[in-house]
């Protein structure tokens, strides 16, 4: 069959089957939807990463008596980490649907997505939106799944031997304070001139505290650092 | 008008096709032969099957002409569509009769580019058969890049866009394909020294 005849046949088929080009707006909309999907996945990953970062920042790594990696593993917010993984992977899958995704290698795409995620999560942190999100999620997601594993563990376990005490400020004296942990133990926390009080100089009755220091007696603890936890009161329950 | 369109660039021809599908004939005229040989080279389909594939290709080109991205070369885009349509057809038509479609020049070109030196100016029939068998025995992914590079004379950038793989992957496919072909050619006595 000649080329001309073939061309005629193709054009005839196009006319007969009333084949029309896909409208431009439809092509554009498809592209926009794909990129919106990537953006959505990255934003969600960023939110979860900001929650991970805020949790990690509250881990008192400066307790030299504890193993750094052990502590890290123990307090890692695995739920949020899992969600980051899921949404980054989703972002990768959607990104692969973009027109020129094939030009980039798998690792490069993941690295770029992660860097963009990190950037947005830092922006969220800078704008303090991460705290608002955390407060919002605290009452809506089971604690066992997500929020503040560090503080939960601090307060629900007696870690005084390991140099860590968490609980509620019950009473204040000149050189000591009384702290009740979630095990209903009343601890006398001794304050020395070297004791640093972070976040707020003034401690108020009812404040949730994290105290780093040494156990000096049965229910007695000498404080090196006292950190007031700014959070929804319910998070300790 | 007709002469203008004959000389027009692919991109402006694409705009004219949108106005009138009849103008598709200029595009068909321009690319038919090139794509015909490309399809035959990568698929080993008969001429009739190849023509059917090309009919699908040009209908797809017409349907998707609005999605053509001008950051690509038009020829790359049309090769991309042809390649995808051919692969779909290969999947569907594996049981259909196939014929080898690389001529002596094609074979010689592949041999030279793969670093295999054949002394004879005209390769005898027996050797042609061996070379054909060797090429056909290569996995499709290697055959495809070798044909694009050596016979269609595409650049790496064009190959990346046609087969939709990163540049590094394309380069390594080509190198591995060449090495594998050389190895097989050596085994079959086409090359005396590796």
Q: B6: domain CATH number?
A: 1.10.1740.10
Cα separation of B176 and B156, whole Å? Answer: 15
Q: Was domain A149-236 assigned CATH 2.60.40.1930? A: no
A16 touches chain B (CB under 8 A): no
- The per-residue pLDDT for range B26-52, each reduced to its tens digit, is 999 899 999 998 998 888 888 888 999
Residue B169 lies in a domain: yes
The rounded percent of chain B whose pLDDT value lies above 90 is: 36
* Predicted local confidence at residue A44, as pLDDT: 95
B128 and B165 share a domain? yes
The residue segments making up the domain with residue B110 are 104-187
Q: What is the mean pLDDT of chain B?
A: 84
Domain boundary among B64, B92, B120: B92
Residue B83 lies in a domain: yes
What average pLDDT does the segment A35-58 reach? Answer: 90
Contact A11 B32 (CB under 8 A): no
User: Which of the 8 DSSP states describes residue B24?
Assistant: H
Going by C-alpha positions, the residue among A171, A172, A153 that lies closest to residue A60 is A153
- The per-residue pLDDT for range A102-112, each reduced to its tens digit, is 989 889 999 99
- The per-residue pLDDT for range A1-12, each reduced to its tens digit, is 566 788 888 999
Angstroms from B90 CA to nearest CA on chain A: 21
B133 and B153 share a domain? yes
Residue B59 lies in a domain: yes
B58 touches chain A (CB under 8 A): yes
Count structural domains, chain B.
2
User: Which of the 8 DSSP states describes residue B148?
Assistant: I
Strands (E), chain A: 164-172, 176-180, 186-190, 196-198, 208-217, 220-228
Cα separation of A233 and A229, whole Å? Answer: 10
Best to test chain A binding among B22, B67, B69, B158 (most A CBs inside 10 Å): B67
Would the pLDDT of B85 be above 60? yes
Domain boundary among B92, B122, B153: B92
Residue B173 lies in a domain: yes
Q: What is the residue extent of each domain of chain A?
A: 24-138, 149-236
Contact B28 A3 (CB under 8 A): yes
pLDDT band for B60, please (50, 70, 90 cuts): very high
Angstroms from A86 CA to nearest CA on chain B: 25
What average pLDDT does the segment A178-185 reach? Answer: 86
pLDDT band for A235, please (50, 70, 90 cuts): very low
Of the candidates A3, A15, A24, the beta carbon closest to that of B21 is on A15
Say if residues B118 and B147 touch (Cβ distance below 8 Å).
no
Q: What is the mean pLDDT of chain A?
A: 81
Would the pLDDT of A232 be above 60? no
B168 touches chain A (CB under 8 A): yes
B148 and B173 share a domain? yes
Sign of CA dihedral B14, B16, B17, B18: positive
Say if residues A223 and A192 touch (Cβ distance below 8 Å).
yes
Residue B99 lies in a domain: no
Would the pLDDT of A65 be above 50? no
Angstroms from A167 CA to nearest CA on chain B: 55
B167 touches chain A (CB under 8 A): yes
Q: Residues near A186 by Cβ (< 8 Å), separated by ≥ 6?
A: A170, A178, A179, A180, A219
Taking CA atoms, B26 is separated from A28, B21, B22, B29, B82, in Å, by 27, 10, 8, 5, 17
Residue B87 lies in a domain: yes
* Predicted local confidence at residue A236, as pLDDT: 37
pLDDT band for A142, please (50, 70, 90 cuts): low
């Amino acid at each position: 069959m000649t080329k001309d005849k073939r061309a005629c046949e193709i054009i005839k088929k196009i006319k007969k089957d009333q084949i029309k080009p896909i409208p431009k707006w439809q092509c554009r909309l498809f592209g926009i939807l794909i990129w919106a999907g990537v953006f959505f996945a990255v934003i969600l990953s960023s939110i979860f990463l900001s929650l991970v970062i805020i949790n990690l920042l509250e881990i008192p790594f400066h307790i030299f008596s504890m193993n750094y990696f052990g502590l890290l593993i123990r307090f890692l917010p695995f739920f949020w980490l899992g969600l980051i993984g899921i949404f980054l992977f989703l972002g990768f899958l959607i990104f692969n649907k973009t027109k020129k995704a094939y030009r980039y290698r798998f690792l490069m795409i993941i690295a770029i997505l992660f860097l963009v995620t990190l950037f947005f999560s830092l922006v969220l942190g800078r704008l303090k939106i991460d705290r608002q999100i955390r407060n919002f999620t605290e009452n809506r997601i089971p604690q066992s799944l997500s929020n503040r594993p560090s503080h939960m563990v601090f307060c629900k376990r007696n870690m005084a031997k390991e140099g860590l005490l968490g609980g509620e400020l019950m009473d204040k004296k000149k050189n000591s304070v009384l702290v009740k942990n979630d095990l209903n133990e009343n601890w006398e926390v001794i304050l020395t001139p070297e004791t640093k009080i972070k976040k707020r100089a003034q401690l108020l009755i009812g404040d949730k505290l994290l105290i780093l220091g040494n156990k000096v007696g049965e229910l007695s603890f000498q404080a090196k650092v006292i950190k007031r936890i700014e959070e929804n009161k319910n998070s300790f329950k | 008008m007709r002469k203008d369109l004959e000389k027009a660039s692919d991109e402006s021809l694409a705009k004219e096709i949108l106005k009138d599908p009849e103008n598709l004939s200029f595009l068909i005229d321009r690319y038919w032969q090139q794509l015909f040989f490309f399809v035959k080279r990568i698929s080993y389909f008969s001429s009739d099957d190849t023509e059917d594939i090309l009919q699908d290709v040009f209908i797809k080109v017409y349907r998707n002409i609005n999605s053509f991205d001008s950051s690509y070369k038009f020829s790359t885009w049309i090769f991309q569509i042809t390649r995808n349509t051919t692969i779909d057809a290969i999947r569907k038509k594996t049981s259909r009769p196939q014929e080898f479609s690389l001529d002596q020049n094609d074979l010689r070109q592949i041999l030279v580019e793969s670093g295999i030196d054949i002394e004879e100016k005209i390769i005898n029939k027996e050797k042609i058969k061996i070379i054909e068998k060797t090429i056909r025995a290569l996995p499709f992914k290697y055959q495809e890049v070798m044909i694009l590079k050596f016979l269609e004379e595409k650049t790496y950038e064009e190959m990346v866009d046609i087969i939709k793989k990163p540049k590094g992957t394309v380069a390594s496919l080509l190198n591995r394909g060449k090495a594998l072909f050389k190895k097989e050619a050596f085994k079959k006595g086409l090359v005396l020294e590796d």
